[in-house]
C-alpha cells in the first residue's frame, strides 16, 4: 500500500499517543536541555539525536510517528518559505552554474565512493552505488529494495554519514565563521493576521498532496516552499513563525534520526562505521571542491556553499541553514536539485551496469 506524506489514517493518529513515541519525547527534551546548558551548537537537534540513537541501539523501543515528522517538516517549510520573494526568484537564474557543478559533484561522488566501497568494504556494485550517493536515503532504499540490494548496508552507511555531518558541521561553523551572530529582530508575532497562517497551511497541504500524487521528491518541503512562496509573492498571505518554533523542529528531526537505528544492532553499525567514515570524508572533500568551484559563479558565503554541497539529509541541512542564518533558500534549492538529480542519475547508472553484465554474459 502506498504511503502518503501526510498519513491521517487511524493507525498513524494512534501512533502519536503510543508509548514508544512518548518515550522518544521523554528522552529528547532533557537531552536537548542538557546540550543547551553546555552550549553545544545546535543543541536541540544534537542532544536528542545522540540520546535517542544510544537508546535505540541499546534495545529501547523508540518510534517516530510519520505524522509528527510530517507536521514538523511543514512548519520548517513555512519558516523557510517566509524568505521567498520576487528577488529570490530573480536570483535563481544565477544558480544555473552551481546546479551544473552539483551534477558533476554527484557523478564524481557516486563513481569514487562506490569504487572505494567495492574494493575495501566488499559491497556489491549496486549496493555500493546506493551507499555512495550523497543523499536521498528514502527514495534510494525503495530503489535498493527493487534491485535486491543490501538494505541494511545502504541505510547504515547513510545514517552514520548523516550523524557525522550534522554533528560536526555546527562545531565547524561556530569555530570558523568570521561573521558575528545576528541579533534576533524583535517582532510582535501576535500582531499578525492569523487567518493568513490558515491560508498558508491549507495551500501547503494541498500542494503537498498534489506533489505526492505526481511523485515530486521531498514533497513535504518542496510543496510547502512552492505554496508559501507563491502566496507571499502574489501578496495573498504572509505569516512569520516565531523563532522558537525552530527548536521544536530541531528536536523532532534529531530524534527521528536516532529512531532510524531502532532495528539495527551495535555490531552491524560498528562493522559499517569505519568505511562510512572514509566514504563521508571522500564526499566532504568532493563537496569542498564543489563549493570552491561554485564560489567563482555566485557571491555567497563559503559556509553557505559548503552546506549546499554537504552530503547530509535535505531536512536536517535546511534546519542547520536556518539556525546559523546561512541563506536557507539557497541551501534548500540546491539540496532539492541534488535530490532530483540523484533520482534521475542512479537508475541510468543501474541500467548501464545491467547492460554491461548482459553484454559480458
- 330 pLDDT exceeds 70? yes
**pLDDT computed for residue 140 by the predictor:** 77
**pLDDT computed for residue 207 by the predictor:** 93
- Say if residues 109 and 309 touch (Cβ distance below 8 Å): no
**pLDDT computed for residue 182 by the predictor:** 43
Structural domains of the chain in order of their starting residue, each with its CATH number: 10-177+188-360 (1.20.1530)
Task: Note the pLDDT tens digit of each residue in 175-199.
Answer: 776 544 444 456 677 788 889 999 9
**pLDDT computed for residue 72 by the predictor:** 86
- 112 pLDDT exceeds 50? yes
**pLDDT computed for residue 361 by the predictor:** 64
Residues in the chain: 361
Under 8 Å CB-to-CB from 84, ≥6 apart: which residues?
Answer: 225, 228, 229, 232, 233, 329
User: What pTM did the predictor assign?
Assistant: 0.77
- Over pLDDT 90: what percentage of the chain? 30
Give a three-class secondary structure readout of the chain.
Answer: CCCCCCCCCHHHHHHCCCHHHHHHHHHHHHHHHHHHHCCCCCHHHHHHHHHHHHHHHCCCCCCCCHHHHHHHHHHHHHHHHCCCCHHHHHHHHHHHHHHHHHHHHHHHHHHHHHHHHHHHCCCCHHHHHHHHCCCCHHHHHHHHHHCCCCHHHHHHHHHHHHHHHHHHHHHHHHHHCCCCCCCCCCCCCCCCCHHHHHHHHHHHHHHHHHHHHCCCCCHHHHHHHHHHHHHHHCCCCCCCCCCCHHHHHHHHHHHHHHHCCCCCCHHHHHHHHHHHHHHHHHHHHHHHHHHHHHCCCCCCCHHHHHHHCCCCCHHHHHHHHHHCCCCHHHHHHHHHHHHHHHHHHHHHHHHHHHHHHHHHC
- 151 pLDDT exceeds 80? no
**pLDDT computed for residue 319 by the predictor:** 82
Range with lowest mean pLDDT among 179-183, 262-266, 291-295, 333-337: 179-183
Burial category of 295 from C-beta neighbours within 10 Å (exposed 0-12, middle 13-18, buried 19 and up): middle
327 torsion bin: left (phi>0), alpha (psi -120 to 50), beta (else)? left
Give the residue with greater pLDDT, 137 vs 77: 77
- Rg of the Cα trace of the chain? 20
Q: Among 241, 225, 253, which Cα is nearest to 334's?
A: 225
Rounded CA separation 22/20 (Å):
6
- Say if residues 312 and 135 touch (Cβ distance below 8 Å): yes
Amino acid at each position: 500500500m502506498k504511503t502518503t506524506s501526510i498519513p491521517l489514517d487511524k493507525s498513524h493518529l494512534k501512533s502519536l499517543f503510543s508509548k514508544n513515541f512518548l518515550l522518544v519525547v521523554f528522552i529528547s527534551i532533557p537531552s536537548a536541555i542538557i546540550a543547551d546548558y553546555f552550549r553545544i551548537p545546535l543543541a536541540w537537534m544534537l542532544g536528542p539525536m545522540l540520546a535517542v540513537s544510544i537508546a535505540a541501539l541499546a534495545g529501547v523501543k523508540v518510534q517516530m510517528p510519520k505524522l509528527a515528522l510530517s507536521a514538523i517538516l511543514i512548519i520548517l517549510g513555512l519558516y523557510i518559505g517566509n524568505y521567498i520573494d520576487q528577488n529570490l526568484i530573480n536570483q535563481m537564474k544565477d544558480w544555473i552554474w552551481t546546479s551544473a557543478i552539483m551534477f558533476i559533484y554527484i557523478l564524481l561522488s557516486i563513481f569514487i565512493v562506490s569504487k572505494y566501497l567495492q574494493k575495501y568494504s566488499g559491497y556489491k556494485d549496486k549496493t555500493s552505488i546506493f551507499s555512495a550517493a550523497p543523499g536521498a536515503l528514502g527514495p534510494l532504499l525503495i530503489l535498493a529494495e527493487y534491485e535486491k540490494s543490501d538494505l541494511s548496508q545502504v541505510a547504515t552507511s547513510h545514517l552514520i554519514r548523516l550523524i557525522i555531518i550534522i554533528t560536526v558541521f555546527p562545531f565547524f561553523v561556530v569555530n570558523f565563521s568570521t561573521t558575528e551572530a545576528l541579533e534576533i529582530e524583535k517582532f510582535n508575532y501576535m500582531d499578525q493576521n492569523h487567518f493568513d497562517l490558515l491560508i498558508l497551511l491549507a495551500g501547503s497541504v494541498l500542494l503537498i498532496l498534489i506533489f505526492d500524487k505526481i511523485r515530486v521528491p521531498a514533497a513535504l518541503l518542496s510543496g510547502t516552499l512552492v505554496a508559501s512562496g507563491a502566496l507571499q509573492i502574489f501578496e495573498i498571505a504572509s505569516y512569520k513563525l516565531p523563532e522558537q518554533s525552530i527548536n521544536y523542529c530541531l528536536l523532532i528531526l534529531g530524534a527521528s534520526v536516532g529512531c532510524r537505528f531502532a532495528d539495527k544492532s551495535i555490531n552491524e553499525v560498528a562493522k559499517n562505521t569505519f568505511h562510512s567514515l572514509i566514504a563521508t570524508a571522500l564526499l566532504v572533500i568532493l563537496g569542498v571542491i564543489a563549493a570552491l568551484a561554485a564560489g567563482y559563479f555566485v557571491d555567497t558565503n563559503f559556509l553557505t556553499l559548503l552546506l549546499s554541497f554537504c552530503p547530509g539529509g535535505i531536512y536536517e541541512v535546511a534546519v542547520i541553514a536556518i539556525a546559523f542564518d546561512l541563506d536557507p533558500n539557497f541551501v534548500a534549492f540546491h539540496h532539492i536539485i541534488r535530490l532530483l538529480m540523484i533520482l534521475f542519475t542512479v537508475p541510468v547508472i543501474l541500467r548501464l551496469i545491467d547492460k554491461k553484465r548482459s553484454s559480458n554474459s
